[in-house]
Amino acid sequence: MVDRRTFLHGSILGLAAARLGATPRGARAPLAPLGLELYSVRRELTADPERTLAAVAAIGYTYVEVVWPLLKIPPATMRGFVDKVGLKARSGHIGTDPLGADWEKQLDGAATLGHEYLFVASLPGNERRTLDQWRAWADRFNRAGEIARRHNIWLGFHTEPDNFPRIEGRVPYDVFVERLDPKVVRLQLDIGNVAMAGADPLEFLSRWRDRYASFHIKDVPVIGKVADTELGAGVLDIKRILSAAGDLSGKLLYVEQEGAADPIDSARRDYAYLSALKL
């Protein structure tokens, strides 16, 4: 478990950031355009998708990530709402089921929405207990990723807290990524979820930085506790982590806060925080 002092101020992290080529102190580079992971506003979206998407666009977000298991309207209808308010649905989250016989159908739906990426949010609990299971899933991702590239879409994998507890002395996430073919599968790093596992996002950036095409930017009140909070209100050094991520141009940067009392207001404050952040 990583305590707060070690996490925020450890010399190892400083060396990692330097090794990654973090922006020198005093540099002022604005973040790329920002997106919102729609799980943040899932209840509002279900109640009134058009009004919710309009509110997201009014904040200043330019793209969104669709949670396919929660999508209650046809992709073409959702695309119409997204286009109407000036947003783009650049990626989506899916489960593992669509990787089977319905994969081509899922890819067609993704194309309808204008997706560039489909990220699998997590693996089934009973199918990630051994390293061999993780390797088998990587092989399956590689096969599905080849098909996705023929549709001009990237398949990717999103990090959850359960990806990091060791199995047989290894971090299963590392075993999985080692087996993935970067020519057909990319990665999405949820920095908050890594911290919820008691792990350090900078450690994984030091190993896999060039494999990350997308980020979920999320803060946590306590390292190792499965909970999130508004950006800047928690213990993560967001600026340091994003600086260590290298060139963010062309990558997808999503705000996500899962447990906000007022999701739209929190999304607004998170946007203001990141908009003022200079790397």
Domains of the chain by residue range: 31-275
pLDDT digits (tens, 9 = 90+) for 80-131: 999 999 999 999 999 999 999 999 999 999 999 999 999 999 999 999 999 9
What is the domain class of 31-275 according to CATH? alpha beta
DSSP state of 33: P
> In this structure, are strands 35-37 and 212-217 parallel, antiparallel, or unpaired?
unpaired
pLDDT digits (tens, 9 = 90+) for 39-70: 999 999 999 999 999 999 999 999 999 999 99
Task: Determine the 3-state secondary structure of 82 from DSSP.
Answer: helix
In terms of phi and psi (left: phi > 0; alpha: psi -120 to 50; beta: otherwise), the region of 246 is left
Whole-angstrom Cα distance, residue 229 to residue 34? 18
Average pLDDT over residues 184-201: 97
Which helix or strand (DSSP H or E) is residue 178 part of? helix 172-179
In terms of phi and psi (left: phi > 0; alpha: psi -120 to 50; beta: otherwise), the region of 25 is beta
Residue type at 207?
R
pLDDT at 31: 78
Number of H helices, E strands in the chain: 12, 8
Confidence of residue 25 (pLDDT cuts 50, 70, 90): very low
Average pLDDT over residues 206-228: 96
